[in-house]
Amino acid sequence: MVSKVKVKFKPSTKSDKEGCLYFEITHSRRVRLIRTSYNLDASEWNEKTESVVLSAGDPSRRRLLESIQKRVGWDVQRLRRIIARFVQSDESFSSEDIISEFRRQTAQSSLRKLVEDIICDNEALGHERTAETYVSMLNSFMRFMEGEDVPIDGIDSQLVQQYEAWLKSTGVTPNSSSFYLKRLRAAYNVAVERGLTIQKHPFRHVYTGKEKTAKRAVKFSVIKKVKSLDLESDPSLDLARDLFLFSFYTRGMSFIDMSYLKASNLQSGYLVYRRHKTGKRLYIKWEDCMKQLVDKYAGSPTGYLLPIITAAGNERQQYIHAQYRVNYYLKRLSEKAGICPALTLYVARHSWASIARESNPISLVSEALGHESEQTTRIYLAELDASFVDNANKKILDKL
């Protein structure tokens, strides 16, 4: 028995009220109705073509009608896919089964609802950084949509390309645009896995790659200059400098790993910790320069070695805010001391790697950085090479 889906309009019994659209499901000669939340005036519906009549007047009303037309189309597509799946299963089904499955999918098919579920799942698993990337993407996409949610079925190639164009118009870098699009694609793929939509490959025509960014490193003489600066009169610059140096001392330890260090990480003359990024355990000999910096800030009530997380609760947010503050003050320090390129927390890691590779094999540098393979280190170091080539060229040109 062929199942049919039609869109119908029911006018209001009151002359000053809008009517509503509903879906008519016919299966095995039985007709069932699904009422929608889409409201229209009678003049805005064409019964023959089952389509919304777009008003040529008020622009805001026209946008609303266009949105209703899109959503009706998505709903009809979903209903037809549900029917097709039931037919392919070779099992008997009823109109009630169709409606029940449609309502189930509708409740889950909003992009906002899907992404919020993904965020909660990652937070429950302790994947805080992943959850934050989904939050960032969702906020960006909602700004693009001007606050209007979209069903998963509505994510098609046209919408994705429009989102990419909007991202470019806001001035974000290609890598930032790619980041948002890749996270949106990941959410879309979750929806496909959950059966909320079919795979339509809507991301084929947008850029989701990664452009190489300039890796900044400073010479050893700059590190010595930073260490010798007298910053006692400015505690904020002093702390930023000390955290930069601690990262350099500890073979370019990442800021998140520094943030969570405790006395328990000091074991038999070594600083022992696991990288948050890879989970790899690293051992660093505890040197006097490291101890002096930690002793300078001893007495933290939170038990952490460094004054990054300074209060109980919201540790993740404290780490994130501290990272912004430290990079801000490192920039100010660079301007004050005439250091170029400007220092950042990443510069400490890049500088250690570039200095270490001058007199050590890549295998040693790879182990020190906590990379999973030497290939990762080769790629990492290759991205630093351009600055060395530029410096060599400058020395030649300066002799002319």
Q: Which region among 101-105, 141-145, 288-292 has the lowest average model confidence (pLDDT)?
A: 101-105
> Whole-angstrom Cα distance, residue 247 to residue 284?
12
Per the structure, the complete domain to which residue 27 belongs is given by 4-108
For residues 187 and 235, membership in a common domain is answered with: no
> Whole-angstrom Cα distance, residue 93 to residue 393?
75
For residues 269 and 290, membership in a common domain is answered with: yes
- Read off the pTM: 0.57
Name the domain count of the chain.
3
> Whole-angstrom Cα distance, residue 186 to residue 377?
27
**Alpha carbon distances (Å) from 122 to 111, 132, 135, 314, 347:** 16, 9, 11, 17, 30
For residues 281 and 160, membership in a common domain is answered with: no
CB 22 within 8 Å of CB 35: yes
> Whole-angstrom Cα distance, residue 46 to residue 51?
5
User: Terminal CA-to-CA distance of the chain, rounded, Å?
Assistant: 88
At 27, give phi and psi (nearest 5°): -150, 130
**Alpha carbon distances (Å) from 362 to 57, 183, 357:** 69, 33, 7
- The answer on pLDDT for 396 being more than 90 is no
Within a domain: residue 204? no
Q: Label residue 392 by pLDDT band (50, 70, 90).
A: very low
Between 127 and 296, the higher pLDDT residue: 296
For residues 224 and 177, membership in a common domain is answered with: no
Other Cβ atoms closer than 10 A to 365 = 24
pLDDT of residue 400: 35
For residues 322 and 236, membership in a common domain is answered with: yes
Nearest to 356 by CA among 243, 277, 252: 252
Q: Label residue 380 by pLDDT band (50, 70, 90).
A: low
Q: Which region among 219-223, 278-282, 390-394 has the lowest average model confidence (pLDDT)?
A: 390-394
For residues 27 and 51, membership in a common domain is answered with: yes
Structure tokens at 264: 């328990």
pLDDT of residue 121: 84
For residues 262 and 182, membership in a common domain is answered with: no
pLDDT of residue 117: 84
Within a domain: residue 212? no
Q: Label residue 366 by pLDDT band (50, 70, 90).
A: low
